[in-house]
Amino acid sequence: MAPFGKHPRTIVHDGQPFNAEPPLGLLRRSFITPGEVFFSRNHGSVPEVDPDGYRLAVGGLVERPLSLSMEDLCGGFPKSEVVAVVECAGNRREGMMEVAPIPGETPWGAGAVGNARWAGVPLREVLALAGVGDGARHAAFVGLDEVEGEDGSFPYGGSVPLEKALGPEVLLAYEMNGELLPREHGFPLRVMAPGYYGARSVKWLSGIELRETPSENHFQASEYKLFPPNATEETADLSEGLMLGEMQVNAAVCEPGEDEESSAGPVSVRGYALAGGGRRVERVDVSQDGGETWTQADLGEGAEEPWAWTFWEATIDLGPGEHRVVVRAVDSSAATQPKAAAEVWNFKGYANNSWHGVRVVVR
Ligand code: MTE
């Protein structure tokens, strides 16, 4: 067993903070990703929170500040469910690292993503009870974990614009796949902001603050931002840069695996595709010649669910030799993926949604 009861085949990047992702074949096995397969992305400790003593503070630009226990949250509000994909902004950073080094960042493969059934209180119900105050434009979240910084430790945080926070899909989730949240996924309460990069779905939630401006937490103000390709760690002004929000359309080949051998004839290719911001995956194109020619994959489960990922499958005919099988998806805004990681390279290694592919050797 890997730490936190993760599947034995889990790829553990770091033990502390705990960062781990599943191999892609395992990830593609189930439309709803089981907890033991779901990636885990942490910047600091994985706190052990006593649910009895737990309180959620709601404050800032609200009419009535609140302090809510788990009993208040589970008993005093409607319970809502959403099947939502969570993608880390660093998913597929490994592919960007092949373009140019990205020191000090986790080399995620394409497994920093998972799709679960989340249940909890719609955030907007809690905000309605608190009363949204004048001037509130952003909902900022803070966790109970401790991240080591230069000036001591501090908790992880982030924010979403108020209009996102008021969407019915955004939950204060206390369940994942029909069970209480596992500890490493934020027990007893986390934000689930479907359609946004995972960074904004703050785990071990301790506070919500309505603000005029985005959160000033380091992870909102200086990390999880997109910089141009010519910016470097030395030259970038971290107060600049685009704060990442909605996920970009993305897709990956999960089977066959990289460098897998196959016999000549029809080969089944399978993977996942996702779109952010409530957009749907409209089409998935697969190429067996590195993008010279394309065929359309069949879309499976998830194609009709706005916040979930979509599973896809295509059968291609492969003759003897080496093939580069690549995939790209198109979302309902007609956005598609760039060909090469070099086109979207940035020094933090975020949002790599270039074509994903595997080398397949046919004997
Ligand atoms: N929340 C807290 N408190 N601390 C964290 O380190 N990591 C964020 C987000 N919420 C993080 C957090 C990031 S970057 C991602 S991608 C998701 O949690 C990962 O969620 P998971 O570990 O449940 O897969």
How much is the pLDDT for 1? 77
Q: Where are the domains of the chain?
A: 3-243, 250-362
Q: Tens of pLDDT along 206-244? A: 999 999 999 999 999 999 999 999 999 999 999 999 999
How much is the pLDDT for 301? 82
Asked whether the CA dihedral 32, 36, 41, 44 is positive or negative, the reply is positive
Centre of ligand 1 from the C-alpha of residue 233, in Å = 23
Ligand 1 mutation pick, 86, 113, 201, 244, max ligand atoms within 8 A of CB: 201
Centre of ligand 1 from the C-alpha of residue 214, in Å = 18
Centre of ligand 1 from the C-alpha of residue 270, in Å = 27
**What is the maximum span of the chain, computed from C-alpha positions, in angstroms?**
69
How much is the pLDDT for 268? 97
For tokens 């008021």, the residue is 166
Question: Contact, 219 vs 43, CB < 8 A?
Answer: yes
Centre of ligand 1 from the C-alpha of residue 294, in Å = 36
Which class for 164: exposed (0-12), middle (13-18), buried (19 or more C-beta within 10 A)? buried
Distance CA 66, CA 278 (A): 30
How much is the pLDDT for 302? 74
Residue range 26-53: average pLDDT?
A: 98
Query: Which atom of ligand 1 is least distant from the CA of 88?
Result: 16
Q: Tens of pLDDT along 54-101? A: 999 999 999 999 999 999 999 999 999 999 999 999 999 999 999 999
Q: Tens of pLDDT along 314-359? A: 999 999 999 999 999 999 999 999 999 999 999 999 999 999 999 9
Fold held by 250-362: Immunoglobulin-like (2.60.40)
pTM: 0.98
| CA dihedral of 233, 238, 241, 243, whole degrees rounded to 10 | 120
C-alpha distances (whole Å) from 73 to each of 67, 78, 109 are 10, 9, 36
C-alpha distances (whole Å) from 362 to each of 240, 264, 269, 271, 323 are 48, 6, 14, 20, 8
- Give the rounded percent of residues in the chain with a pLDDT score beyond 70: 100
Q: Cα 300 from chain centroid?
A: 21
Mode of pairing for the β-strands spanning 66-68 and 56-60 = antiparallel
**Would you give the DSSP letter of residue 79?**
-
Q: Tens of pLDDT along 121-178? A: 999 999 999 999 999 999 999 999 999 998 999 999 999 999 999 999 999 999 999 9
Query: Which atom of ligand 1 is least distant from the CA of 142?
Result: 3
Which residue type occupies 246? E
Architecture of domain 3-243: Alpha-Beta Complex (3.90)
Centre of ligand 1 from the C-alpha of residue 253, in Å = 24
Determine which residue's CA is closest to atom 2 belonging to ligand 1.
203
Residue range 251-275: average pLDDT?
A: 97
Determine which residue's CA is closest to atom 19 belonging to ligand 1.
41
Query: Which atom of ligand 1 is least distant from the CA of 87?
Result: 16
